[in-house]
Amino acid sequence: MRLIALLASLLTLAILHLLAQAPPPAGRSLALALGAEPADFREVVFVNASLARTTAAAVVGAMLGLAGSLLQQLLRNPLASPTTLGVASGAWLGLVAGTVLAPAAAAANGVLFAFGGAVLAGAMVFAIAGPRGMAGLPAILAGMAVSLLLGALARAFVLLEDQRARDLGIWAAGDLGQATWADLSLLLPVLLTGLLGALACSRALTLLRLGFDVASGRGLALAFFAPVVGLAALGLTASAIAAVGPIAFVGLLAPAIARLAGAASSRDELIAAAGLGAAALLGTDAVAIVSTGWAAQLITSGAIAPLIGAPVLILLLLQRRGAELPSSWITSAVNRRPVLRIALSLAAALALTSLGALLVGRQSGSWSVALPTALEFGFRWPRALAAAAAGMALAIAGSVLQRLLRNPLASPDVIGVSGGAAFGVVLSVLILGISLGDAAMPAAALGASTALGALLLLARLRPGDPFVLALTGLSLAALLEALLSLGLAWGGEEVFSLLGWLSGSTLRVGGPAALRLTALMLPLIVMTLLLARWLDLLTLGRFEAAARGVPVALAIPVFLVIAGTATGVATATIGLAPFVGLAAPHIARLLTASSARGELCLSALTGALLMLAADWIGRTALHPIQLPVGLVAALLGGTYMVVALSLRRR
Amino acid sequence: MQTIDAAPEGVVVLNWALTEQLLSLGVEPVGAADIDGYNTWVVRPPIPDGVSDTGLRHAPNFEQIASLSPDLILLGDLQRDFTPLLERVAPVLQFRLFDEAHDNAAVSRSTFLDLARLFGKDAEANAALSALDERLAAKSEALSEAYGGNPPKVAVVRFADATNLRVYGANSMAEAALHALGLENAWPQPPSRWGLTTRPILDLGELEDGHVLYIEPLEEADALFASPVWQAMPVVRADRVHAIPPTWTYGGALSVGVLADEIAKVLLAAAPQ
């Protein structure tokens, strides 16, 4: 009965989707669909483009829904999906890298490059979160971090090869108009194989619901089964993404809605998720078609999907019942060395690196180590100071958030404050046409405080649910990517200065801006250090902290405001620098086990050191080309995190 | 803007359109932005060896620029943010070349003359512009003659991929080239900053008359031209789609001439015998 309702609504949506594309009269359309020879241009378009696009929307939607359901059931993680696990960013990176490094091969075999990138992303998330972490928040946090890192790398390719990579913008914006029958002849078999394979696995997936251990105990060869199902889900995702570009939220929401609609068994959920995915994408794409007709520019499904998906996700999660997630604070520290000695060594390293940043430069290819001229000094000190101060601010925010969320993988990017700042700036520049220099400060401040406000509201509505806190970040990241891709797709030049800023740039920072950042950041650090004891107790859990006299209802918003302000101020000055707020606290804990106060000090010093070094490397490594500081820092920090965490698990 | 007294000796130029115009005036800069990129995308006139690369256009290397000790720095659109920092090195002139609120093609001519005045090359610039106008007027006449006094409408596009086109509309250099040749745009688009609109290729099917010229490169050419939809397009069936070689469409006054030359060449070849 429910199956019939699903099929009927699919058919209705497909017809609506076709109607949006101005088809020939109904009778003639039906004849054409059944194989009549097209007589004029409009009929050729109907057969070859409109019908193909409608089919593609249904097929790609079903693939994403199925992939999402497979991932969620396999990992037993209701937030797992191609977008949240960073797989979509991996596919995008694979295709951009291919287009820049081997254009001919990438044009012919895009799907292989996308699949390669998707597998890379999946493997990185697995390495960071670990097998146990895949079922919970760690996988989502790792996915977010990997997504940021691979997205930053892809952005670097676009920046360095702007003219060539620009046209990929349309693909990255998720344009279903690019699907042809030739694509579909590849996609349809993949979907059918995936669907049949998934149904064949449904018994094993049901067994998995009892837990990995029970499933193994009852004879499920998990070591074989899990990778096969995982790769199948990645294959479905990569094929869909290679054909029409990344479309967020379908793979995440379709299984969730299927469960909400009463699909209880594993088999039912797989079928319903595929059907709902198809329906969702048909609806989304119909909106995109109508909007492109209205607007003077191309509007894509990839841009519409987050606009619809993000609010739906928030509604769904707010309704989710269930207790506080089991998460425990495991510190990675193995050493117990005196904090003071390590802090002094870090400070010495920071001083040395500052000297390097001020004295070492490159001119016309050759290195020079000399006292800088007054002019050179005037260029070097503000960017060095801004980089170090931003590094400190992000590190403090990361330390606070990791303890607040009781998760060592949390970072300032996850809570969406930096995403909100970036979104504000991109919106002002691309849509309102304000110059980047004028827009950066006010728009970033407004965006960051809006995101922070939403975060505080959500935290009040669902106290203690870390998924909810991760949610603004997730939604904003998807919105940001979609808007940027549209900017690239539209073909103006503004988007390239934006990309430079988004990758974290100290270029526009003059002396006053660097001093202002430092002046705003120092009181935040002092305040955090004064409240460090609350942080220690909150790390034990909210109830434990309350029992020991921490005013939890006050402490949580205070710490969120501190972390949000630090991130917002840093982002407004230098743009995005992902991974610094994640890696710095991690390195601090690796150096020594200590209380929150000691960790905060070490983390701040590490963050400053990381950013200062990154800025100096970015300025000199590829001279005369300058790499954005945030990009270099993300590469340093990201590589460290992946290597350190996967080695530790051995 | 500051005032410049004597003709500058060492100039650093961070915008490709300005680089192109300086070189065609016979002024060799000491530094220019992203020379590799210029040689790939703008191509003509070539940047001589010995000009120092100052980094990417949106991330200029201030220290490298300072080491060249220029006495003038020229900036283009989207580089205004760098003015206060670069003014420490040398006087800075920032040009607004592309803007929704002005006529890009008209501004490109006044920019060219401003640049010429700066370097004492007024005579050369005026001569170059009148030679350009004369050349294009002659081509306009030749076109009119070839088409029996009734030259076709023309749409200039660039393929973004196998699905979407960039259409050059009002306020684009391509449309300025069309007008200089006495031609009408077959696919008018609302004016915008860059004169560029992204549309699905399918919309090309609505074009009943006129010629379509697409600017190369087109990497997906084989797949696109073999598709049934492409084959069914009225303009394709009438054999009125032609390629023009890679040409920079965000250039200066003289690059309008380069575009117009290519357009005229293709249309004259396609004219009824």
Q: How many beta carbons lie within 10 A of that of residue A376, not counting itself?
A: 20
Percent of chain A with pLDDT over 70: 94
| Inter-chain residue contact A41 with B63, CB threshold 8 Å | no
**What's the CA gap between A47 and A580, in Å, rounded?**
51
pLDDT tens for A536-561 read: 998 888 888 889 988 988 998 899 88
Residue scoring higher pLDDT (B202 or A55):
A55
Ranges of beta strands (E only) in chain B are 11-13, 31-32, 52-53, 72-75, 92-94, 154-159, 164-168, 196-200, 211-215, 241-244
For range B24-48, the mean pLDDT: 89
Helix, strand, or coil (residue B155): strand
Q: Which residues pair with B12 in a beta bridge?
A: B31, B73
Compute φ and ψ for A22, nearest 5 degrees: 50, 70
- Closest in B41, B58, B229 to A500, CB measured: B58
Half-sphere CA count of A74, side-chain side, radius 13 A: 26
How far, in Å, are A59, A101, B134, B166 from residue A288 at the CA level? 17, 32, 47, 18
Percent of chain B with pLDDT over 90: 56
Angle between helices A596-620 and A374-404 (to 10 degrees): 140
| Inter-chain residue contact B100 with A433, CB threshold 8 Å | yes
A108 pLDDT exceeds 90?
no
Mutating which of A95, A244, A300, A379 best tests the B interface, going by the most B Cβ atoms within 10 A? A379
For range B14-33, the mean pLDDT: 93
pLDDT of residue B2: 45
Q: Are B58 and B33 in contact (CB under 8 A)?
A: no
How far, in Å, are A347, A393, A522, A602, B58 from residue A584 at the CA level? 14, 11, 17, 8, 29
Q: Out of A353-357, A406-410, B151-155, which region has the weakest mean confidence (pLDDT)?
A: A406-410
Using a CB–CB cutoff of 8 Å, tell me whether B80 touches chain A: yes
Mutating which of A21, A367, A375 best tests the B interface, going by the most B Cβ atoms within 10 A? A375
- Closest in A47, A363, A505 to B64, CB measured: A363
Q: Which residues of chain A have a CB within 8 Å of the CB of B193?
A: 433, 492
A490 Cα to chain B: minimum distance (Å)? 6
pLDDT of residue A163: 63
Q: Which residues of chain B have a CB within 8 Å of the CB of A180?
A: 227
Q: Which residues of chain A have a CB within 8 Å of the CB of B219?
A: 103-104, 107
pLDDT of residue A10: 93
In terms of Cα–Cα distance, which of B72, B78, B37, B94 is closest to A508?
A: B78
Position A307, amino acid:
L
Residues 200 through 219 of chain B touching chain A, CB cutoff 8 Å = 200, 202, 205, 219
Q: Which residues of chain B have a CB within 8 Å of the CB of A107?
A: 219-220
**How would residue A463 be classed by pLDDT, with cut points 50, 70 and 90?**
low
Q: How is residue B242 annotated by DSSP?
A: E
| Inter-chain residue contact A626 with B37, CB threshold 8 Å | no
**How would residue B214 be classed by pLDDT, with cut points 50, 70 and 90?**
very high
| Inter-chain residue contact B80 with A491, CB threshold 8 Å | no
Q: Which residue of A has its CA nearest to B194?
A: A492
A211 pLDDT exceeds 90?
no
pLDDT of residue A326: 45
In terms of Cα–Cα distance, which of A96, A141, A146 is closest to A121?
A: A146
Q: Out of A334-343, A510-519, B1-10, B231-240, which region has the weakest mean confidence (pLDDT)?
A: B1-10
| Inter-chain residue contact A489 with B161, CB threshold 8 Å | no
| Inter-chain residue contact A510 with B61, CB threshold 8 Å | no
**What's the CA gap between A168 and A487, in Å, rounded?**
11
pLDDT of residue A164: 65
Average pLDDT, chain B: 89
pLDDT tens for A502-528 read: 888 888 888 999 999 999 999 999 999
pLDDT of residue A454: 82
- Closest in A162, A491, A500 to B166, CB measured: A491
pLDDT tens for A58-82 read: 999 999 999 999 999 998 888 888 8
Q: Out of A215-219, A273-277, A442-446, A475-479, which region has the weakest mean confidence (pLDDT)?
A: A475-479
Using a CB–CB cutoff of 8 Å, tell me whether B145 touches chain A: no
Using a CB–CB cutoff of 8 Å, tell me whether B234 touches chain A: yes
**What's the CA gap between A193 and A271, in Å, rounded?**
13
| Inter-chain residue contact A364 with B64, CB threshold 8 Å | yes
pLDDT tens for A625-649 read: 888 898 899 888 888 887 877 776 5
In terms of Cα–Cα distance, which of B106, B107, B98 is closest to B193?
A: B98
In terms of Cα–Cα distance, which of A370, A402, A614, A381 is closest to A509?
A: A381
Mutating which of A37, A40, A45 best tests the B interface, going by the most B Cβ atoms within 10 A? A45
Q: Which residues of chain B have a CB within 8 Å of the CB of A160?
A: 56
B110 pLDDT exceeds 80?
yes
Using a CB–CB cutoff of 8 Å, tell me whether B238 touches chain A: no
**How would residue A330 be classed by pLDDT, with cut points 50, 70 and 90?**
low
pLDDT of residue A1: 66
**What's the CA gap between B27 and B60, in Å, rounded?**
21
B108 Cα to chain A: minimum distance (Å)? 17
A418 pLDDT exceeds 50?
yes
Tokens matching residue B146: 């070839």
Average pLDDT, chain A: 85
Percent of chain A with pLDDT over 90: 29
| Inter-chain residue contact A163 with B41, CB threshold 8 Å | yes
Q: Give the best-scoring range by mean pLDDT among A285-299, A573-587, A598-612.
A: A598-612
In terms of Cα–Cα distance, which of A162, A297, A163, A488 is closest to B215?
A: A163
pLDDT of residue A177: 83
For range A207-234, the mean pLDDT: 84
ipTM for the assembly: 0.82
For range A168-186, the mean pLDDT: 81
Q: Which residues pair with B165 in a beta bridge?
A: B159, B199
Q: How is residue B273 annotated by DSSP?
A: -
Residue scoring higher pLDDT (B229 or A494):
B229
A376 Cα to chain B: minimum distance (Å)? 6
pLDDT of residue B12: 96
Which of B216-220's residues contact partners 24+ apart within 8 Å by CB, and which partners?
B216/B243, B216/B244, B216/B245, B216/B246, B217/B246, B218/B159, B218/B243, B219/A103, B219/A104, B219/A107, B220/A107, B220/B159, B220/B161, B220/B162
| Inter-chain residue contact A170 with B163, CB threshold 8 Å | yes
Mutating which of B77, B81, B209 best tests the A interface, going by the most A Cβ atoms within 10 A? B81
Residue scoring higher pLDDT (A154 or B259):
B259
- Closest in B82, B161, B194 to A178, CB measured: B161
- Closest in A177, A437, A496 to B58, CB measured: A496
Helix, strand, or coil (residue A38): coil
B219 Cα to chain A: minimum distance (Å)? 8
A19 pLDDT exceeds 50?
yes
pLDDT of residue A503: 80
In terms of Cα–Cα distance, which of A597, A591, A216, A535 is closest to A404?
A: A535
- Closest in A48, A296, A298 to B164, CB measured: A298
In terms of Cα–Cα distance, which of A571, A434, A499 is closest to A169?
A: A499
pLDDT of residue A396: 95
For range A272-294, the mean pLDDT: 92
B195 pLDDT exceeds 80?
yes
- Closest in A171, A363, A492 to B63, CB measured: A363
pLDDT tens for B216-237 read: 877 777 778 888 889 889 999 9
- Closest in A167, A361, A436 to B63, CB measured: A361
Q: Are A229 and A74 in contact (CB under 8 A)?
A: yes
For range A448-464, the mean pLDDT: 77
pLDDT of residue A13: 94
| Inter-chain residue contact B52 with A364, CB threshold 8 Å | yes
A469 pLDDT exceeds 80?
no
- Closest in B40, B77, B80 to A493, CB measured: B77
B246 pLDDT exceeds 60?
yes
A162 pLDDT exceeds 70?
no
- Closest in B98, B160, B196 to A170, CB measured: B160
Q: Which residues pair with A361 in a beta bridge?
A: A368
pLDDT of residue B131: 95
B227 Cα to chain A: minimum distance (Å)? 9
pLDDT of residue B1: 42
- Cis check: omega of the bond before A624, within 30 degrees of 0: yes
| Inter-chain residue contact A44 with B162, CB threshold 8 Å | no
pLDDT of residue B226: 86
Using a CB–CB cutoff of 8 Å, tell me whether B58 touches chain A: yes
Compute φ and ψ for A120, nearest 5 degrees: -60, -45
For range A223-237, the mean pLDDT: 88
B177 pLDDT exceeds 90?
yes
Between A and B, how many residue pairs show a Cβ–Cβ distance under 8 A?
A: 148
- Closest in A180, A297, A435 to B198, CB measured: A297
For range B226-254, the mean pLDDT: 88
